[in-house]
Structure 1
Amino acid sequence: MPSTRLRSPLVLGRVTVTALGLAAVADLLALWAGTGVYRAAGDLAAGAGPLGGSLSPRAHRADLVYSVAGGLQSAALLGCGVVFVIWLYRVRVNAEVFDPDGHSKARAWAIAGWVVPIASLWYPRRVILDVWDASDPAGGRPRHGLINLWWALWLLSVNVGRLMADLYDSADSAADFRHAAQQMMAADAVDLMAAALAIRLVLRLTRMQEQKALTRPVFAPPLG
């Protein structure tokens, strides 16, 4: 059986919140860049200037800025994802100390649940729900509204975002680019809301574990 001992999640929690904040900033940058594409494509679609005229460099610049913003957004999401999973594994181990029998998924699913097809649709949420319940200082049956809303927005952001990115890449007219940029901006807004809720989730769950560790004696189960 893997080692099970209580370790403070405070430092990892702060690092994770910082990473989520950077991801949110990247979402805001993508939203701003998306407005540039939307306006430039709108002007082209309305015939404000010929495709080869003075408006074309503006449209190209808008597309370039949007591509750079998208790259930064992807990098921020990747880095944030790595840090979030490390934090989640830490609080999952702590929760096993609090309540060894209160988990429906093995601790390995705190990592594997994000990458295994199909399971990634609900395993991470289940892991977090179990950790949340085990970490509640008051005991009983805590509410799961924050987790459920965050998870719904996360799934929507990931799946819709992929579809909208394909829509943008396949656009071949000003009207298509304008429509795709509008849809991408909506997906970025959902991702921004998911990041904000994730920050709240990390802060609350980290604080819950700290409070439970300080107010109740916790003994790790024997190894064997």
Structure 2
Amino acid sequence: MPSQVPLDRWFSSERAMGVGASVLIGLVTVTAWSTAWSDWNLYRTRRTYGDDAAELSEANLISGSLGIVAALALFAAAVVFIVWLWRVRWNAEMFCRGEHRYSRGWVLGCWLVPVVNLWYPKQIVDDIVAASDQRTDPLTPDLKDVPGTRLVWAWWLTWVAGLVTGNIVQRGVLAGASQLGDLRTNVILSSVSALFTTGAAVLAVILIQRIDELQSARPWVPWWAVGTPQNGFQPPAR
């Protein structure tokens, strides 16, 4: 066990990054409902004007434009959230010796790899929460043995539900739908997706605040210094 702090490592507050992620997550919620409205507008236009090319072209333009804005908002929120997650994971590794289930590279990779992105991110967040909680012994050998929280479960289930209804079903099966019945189904799925996205966004903001509170409340003492005299124990210059 090291007797002093490695010169390239120390804790850092990620509150500002968390606030930035929260704001962008809120923007994603707004764009989700805007997209749902554009889908409803396309359905209403088709039902009211039938095959009128001018009306349908305008409705499609609105739908496509809002879709691009929604995609950009989601991308920006994802980038900032992952950067925040990377940084709080760094803090978590300092707080607790316990082994995380996945290496730090998976903090990014877990969102990009199909199938495993349905559960890896939750487990990564579970380990960060466990390591950040001051009730967790800093010398705990394995973080997967620490029980998860209902907050993480609720956030992840609503996120996956929104992902399934919004991306897999709506964007995959019904992409390019033109029949009135398909457009009506598209409206329903888009609204359900927006509802789940809103729930996941609210829970994500609460989760960000919770992790910040945990990491702020826990003494900034690295696990390898626990039980050693603190006199003369100084963080490296930053």
Same fold (TM over 0.5): yes
**Is the Cα contact below 8 Å between 2:25 and 2:201 reproduced in 1?**
yes
Q: Paired residue for 1:32? A: 37
- Percent identical among aligned pairs is 27
Q: Paired residue for 1:165? A: 171
**Is the Cα contact below 8 Å between 1:31 and 1:188 reproduced in 2?**
yes
Q: Paired residue for 1:209? A: 215
SS at match of 1:218: coil
SS at match of 2:112: coil
Shift of the 125–4 alpha-carbon distance from structure 1 to 2, 3 Å rule, reads farther
Bigger CA drift: 66-75 or 171-180? 171-180
Task: Return the offset for 1:193.
Answer: 1.7
Letter in 2 for 1:89: W
Bigger CA drift: 10-19 or 174-183? 174-183
Structure 1 unmatched runs, 5+: none
Q: Does 1:183 align with 2:172?
A: no
Shift of the 84–99 alpha-carbon distance from structure 1 to 2, 3 Å rule, reads same
Q: Paired residue for 1:218? A: 221
Shift of the 26–33 alpha-carbon distance from structure 1 to 2, 3 Å rule, reads same
**Is the Cα contact below 8 Å between 1:16 and 1:83 reproduced in 2?**
yes
Letter in 1 for 2:199: M
Structure 2 unmatched runs, 5+: 1-5, 138-145, 226-238
TM-score by length of 1: 0.83
Q: Paired residue for 1:137? A: 134
Alignment of 1:1-224 (within 5 A): 3-41=8-46, 43-44=47-48, 49-52=49-52, 57-139=54-136, 144-162=149-167, 163-212=169-218, 216-219=219-222, 221=224
Q: How many residues align?
A: 211
TM-score by length of 2: 0.78
What is the CA–CA distance in structure 1 between the aligned matches of 2:208 and 2:120, rounded to whole Å? 18
**Is the Cα contact below 8 Å between 1:171 and 1:177 reproduced in 2?**
yes
What is the CA–CA distance in structure 2 between the aligned matches of 1:50 and 1:121, rounded to whole Å? 40
Shift of the 2–187 alpha-carbon distance from structure 1 to 2, 3 Å rule, reads farther
What is the CA–CA distance in structure 1 between the aligned matches of 2:75 and 2:163, rounded to whole Å? 12
Bigger CA drift: 18-27 or 135-144? 135-144
Task: Return the offset for 1:3.
Answer: 4.8
Task: Return the offset for 1:92.
Answer: 0.4
Task: Return the offset for 1:218.
Answer: 0.7
**Is the Cα contact below 8 Å between 2:96 and 2:222 reproduced in 1?**
no
Task: Return the offset for 1:136.
Answer: 1.5
Please provide the CA RMSD for this pair.
Answer: 2.5
